[in-house]
Amino acid sequence: MARRFRFGVNFLEAASGQEWAAKCQYAESLGYDVLLVPDHLGWPAPFPSLVAAAQATTHPRVGTFVLNVGFWNPALLAREVATTDRLTAGRLELGLGTGYVRSEFDDAGLPFGTRGSRVDHLERTVTEVRRLLGDPAHTPRPEQNPHPPLLLGGNGDRVLRMAARHADIAAFAGAEHVEGAPDGGLRMLDADRLDERVAACLDFAGDRAPQPELNVLVQRVVVTDDRAEAIEGLRPYAPHLTEDQLLRVPMLLHGSVGAIADQLRSHRERFGFSYYTVLEPSMEAMAPVIARLREEEG
């Protein structure tokens, strides 16, 4: 049986306390299930922002999407996670990733290392945070037992193995690093390559039950009845893809409200994606699609 859809919005813009509360309440009114904050220098600090989001709203969960573990010591992170989970009444979801923007490491005075060393640190962090929060003697204690749900984001085999083994949610950005590209440069995967990455994750999970919930990050939502307009709006996100490929990737959604709802059902059937995260600029565009699917699911 297919999982029910969930929808998150990743907030990118800092705001005053009143403005932050207002946009979190607006997202709740639009039907979003999870209010998320990324972890990039120059953007809102994750944990205080999530506490404020939970205090301003009633129902949505809150989460990091995703923490750059290169910025974090596992013991200090465990303290932040437990405290935030208590202050949000057990609504926290913990998303972790390796970090990929070299300039942010440089600005923070932290070693960037290699891709392998960053994955090593992610693995140590996952292991240690789970151990600490699972220890009844650890203080502070999180509200959720033994710890908040864990989301791991990535596409490589090592991260997918970790997600298959430890995560409640496996998140796919649907992009891969490009050697020699500008700082933090990523290239969007086509649907066939993404299909292979999802299949690898599920294969690594084997007979684990339940298998991880599957999330995908949507880069752009274009609501239109004009196919040419949709293509024009999406092309800058993946200039290396053909028109047909652009229209088949789940990271780019296009068409009428009904057509986008059809795309999400199709992507859930093909890839298993039931949890969709949109970026803040697409929050309003996605809202009528959420309403349509909620009405259908009852």
126: containing domain: 6-216
Residue 283 placed within a domain: no
Residue 285 placed within a domain: no
CB-based contact 151:167 (threshold 8 Å):
yes
Residue 89 placed within a domain: yes
Residue 295 placed within a domain: no
Amino acid 298: pLDDT? 78
pLDDT digits (tens, 9 = 90+) for 24-74: 999 999 999 999 999 999 999 999 999 999 999 999 999 999 999 999 999
- 90 φ/ψ sector (left φ>0, alpha ψ -120 to 50, else beta): left
CB-based contact 79:107 (threshold 8 Å):
no
Question: What CATH number does the domain containing 164 carry?
Answer: 3.20.20.30
Residue 236 placed within a domain: no
Tokens of 196: 């292979």
pLDDT average, residue stretch 89-94: 98
Residue 267 placed within a domain: no
Residue 10 placed within a domain: yes
Residue 244 placed within a domain: no
Amino acid 189: pLDDT? 96
What percent of the chain is helix, strand and coil (3-state, nearest 5)?
Answer: 45, 20, 35
- Measured CA to CA, the distance from residue 243 to residue 232 in angstroms comes to 10
Half-sphere exposure of 115 (CA within 13 A, CB side): 11
pLDDT surpasses 70 at 181: no
Phi, psi of 143 (to 5 degrees): -70, -40
DSSP assignment string, 40-74? -TTS--HHHHHHHHHHH-SS-EEEES-EEGGG--H
Q: Which residue has the higher pLDDT, 243 or 96?
A: 96
CB-based contact 125:166 (threshold 8 Å):
no
The mean pLDDT value of the chain amounts to: 95
When divided into structural domains, the chain yields a total of 1
Which of 171, 190, 186, 173 lies closest to 248 in space, CA to CA? 190
Tokens of 180: 């020699």
Q: Which H helix or E strand runs over 268?
A: helix 257-271
